[in-house]
Amino acid sequence: MKGFTDRNQLLAKMRDGQCCDWDIIIVGGGITGAGVLREATRRGYKALLLEQQDFSWGTSSRSSKMVHGGLRYLAAGDLKLTKESVEERERLLNEAPGLVDRIAFYFTFRKGLFPGRLAMTIILAIYDFLAGIRDHRFIKTAELLQRFKGLNDTNLKGASYYTDAMVDDSRLVLRVLQDSMADGGQALNYTKVQKLLIEKDKVCGVVIDDPQTSQPIQLRASVVVNATGAWADRLRNAVNSEKRIRPLRGSHIIFPKRLYPVSDVMTFLHQDDKRGIYVYPWEGTTVLGTTDLDHDEDLDIEASISNQETDYLLRGFNYQFPNNKLTTADILSTWAGVRPVIGSEKSKDPSKERRDHAVWSDSGLITVSGGKLTTFRLIALDALAVAQDMLPTPKSFNDDRIFITPCISPNALLPENPNWAQRLLGRYGATAKALLSESTAQEHQSIGDTDFSLAECRWAIKYEGVQHLDDLLLRRTRLGMCLANGGAEIYPVLEALFKSERQWDSQQWEAELNRYKAIWQDYYSLPQTSEE
């Protein structure tokens, strides 16, 4: 199977009364929903995922891009969550190299700040033990200053070195969806669930709006899984008035790597509030993040960074690197995501909220929310365990790998560039070979300082459910965030690709370009001031 669900074909069948009965309908196309679809199809269930926006549009394209156990959770005594997370991290590293890759972290120490060297050494020894590896050591100040040029050496007392992993979170969602669909699952983006279908006080399906006719279509299912993340209360409140989700916003800024190139992650405590801040490499850029604030704004409007958050992150960086000071003029782009945290009380420091997940069962509706990107597989298994009694007997299986392993090596795929081949195999799995064969050698060249290529753009346009230009530039690839001015330099070649592969005319291209520019300006750039 090359591509994602043929939306026109599936919607036509639904209109005609076919494909309207399912074992499981999953609402929400982020990593949790994708994980549930993956585990459902593995068990032989007839499963459908519905997403009102684009796949990974919400939190799952706007995380900090880290697959990690969370040292903060271990320090807080949450041994179970940390153990699960580091075990899942190792699984992902083994199953999807090129998509999930190990990276070095350096946690800096300064005199008078907690934790110090001893406490951190103990924490990291436990961290590595839980993961089944030994990968930490102390770094002296001289070595640290060599690795991170210009670092403020006032009261600097070295650093702890350890490893975690990085990922393109949106591509992780897409890869899980791809392999789910290859196993028989179906997934539709830009398909909104208008309401739950309830009969005799039991949820028995959903009502969607046909994206083409705007007429309602009823879809029935033994179980409906609400995997809408920060939006979970909204759907659940149709059957239970309880409110459990505390939306927290985390924002990041991206600047060109030439301004401060790094190959590893540096963690420091912000001088204002002693919160941990990261400086790290990502897709040919350098990233600074993150914040952790209550998000009280409309969840249907994309989250965006505030002026206060921008100033906070820049102050933190400029204190650490006084000879490499950044200003707002240096910023390429920004992103902000809303974390669906299972809230306790609003007065509690957002950074001290637990990050574990919860599953609720309400009259046939299974709601799952919270948790970490790293543990999406375990979250999916918990949701299916709660739904088990309402589902048919699952088929047996003896392979619990998340990903369908490609039957080709990087050296065989691209002998001249095995590193890029590994990246493609991690991100596209078995379809990587077709991606290369359906593009020209010129389209295999890297774009700017990134490792993205026009070959990937062509593939996404043809096969990955792209409905809008922003789907391509902000989620299928990250070119809109990693190139200057939202990727303006590649607009002409993208116009040609959309016209040849999707038969867009000039009018449609201009409409999509204007839509994308507005989205980028409002939600992926700096906040507009009143003078602007």
pLDDT at 375 over 90: yes
pLDDT digits (tens, 9 = 90+) for 281-318: 999 999 999 999 999 999 999 999 999 999 999 999 99
Cβ contact 246:317 at 8 Å: no
More confident call, 244 vs 350: 244
Closest CA to 479 of 170, 40, 205, 31: 170
Positive or negative CA dihedral for 303, 305, 307, 309?
positive
Cβ contact 124:82 at 8 Å: no
pLDDT digits (tens, 9 = 90+) for 137-192: 999 999 999 999 999 999 999 999 999 999 999 999 999 999 999 999 999 999 99
User: Hey, is 338 helix, strand or coil?
Assistant: strand
CA atoms of 157 and 117, how far apart (whole Å): 8
CA atoms of 457 and 454, how far apart (whole Å): 5
- 282 burial (CB, 10 Å; 0-12 / 13-18 / 19+) is buried
CA atoms of 166 and 281, how far apart (whole Å): 9
Where would I find the H helices in 357-473? 376-387, 410-413, 418-428, 432-437, 454-463, 469-471
Q: DSSP state, 374? A: G
Q: Which residue has the tokens 């997403």?
A: 51
Q: DSSP state, 474? A: I
What is the reported pLDDT for 186? 98
CATH class of 7-59+170-244+354-390: alpha beta
Q: How many other C-beta atoms lie within 10 A of the C-beta of residue 498?
A: 22
User: Stretch 59-77: mean pLDDT, rounded?
Assistant: 87
Structure confidence at residue 483 as a pLDDT band (50, 70, 90): very high
Backbone angles phi, psi at 141, to 5 degrees: -55, -40
What is the residue type of 140? Answer: K
Q: DSSP state, 524? A: S
What is the reported pLDDT for 531? 42
Strands 216-226, 47-50: pairing is unpaired
What is the reported pLDDT for 310? 98
pLDDT digits (tens, 9 = 90+) for 327-337: 999 999 999 99
Domain boundaries along the sequence of the chain: 7-59+170-244+354-390, 100-166+246-352, 438-523
Structure tokens at 110: 């300064």
Angle at 375 (CA atoms; ends 369, 376), nearest 5 degrees: 60
pLDDT above 70 as % of the chain? 97
CA atoms of 50 and 52, how far apart (whole Å): 7
pLDDT at 275 over 50: yes
Cβ contact 343:235 at 8 Å: no
What is the reported pLDDT for 77? 78
Virtual torsion, Cα 470, 474, 475, 478, nearest 10 deg? 140
What is the reported pLDDT for 530? 42
For the chain, give the mean pLDDT: 94
What is the reported pLDDT for 345? 54
pLDDT at 532 over 60: no
CA atoms of 333 and 386, how far apart (whole Å): 41
Q: Please, which residues bridge with residue 361 across strands?
A: 366
Kindly write down the DSSP assignment for every residue of 267-283, as one continuous string.
Answer: EEE-TTT--EEEEEEET
What is the reported pLDDT for 354? 60
What lies within 8 Å, CB to CB, of 522 at 6+ separation is 302, 304, 528
Q: DSSP state, 264? A: S
pTM of the model: 0.96
What is the reported pLDDT for 115? 87
Backbone angles phi, psi at 424, to 5 degrees: -65, -40
Q: DSSP state, 161? A: E
What is the reported pLDDT for 311? 97
Closest CA to 450 of 283, 222, 321, 207: 283
CA atoms of 212 and 189, how far apart (whole Å): 13
pLDDT at 96 over 90: yes
What is the reported pLDDT for 69? 80
Domain 7-59+170-244+354-390 matches domain 100-166+246-352 at the CATH topology level: no
Cβ contact 452:494 at 8 Å: no
Q: How many other C-beta atoms lie within 10 A of the C-beta of residue 237?
A: 12
CATH entry, 100-166+246-352, from 3.10.20.90, 3.40.109.10, 3.40.50.960, 3.30.9.10:
3.30.9.10
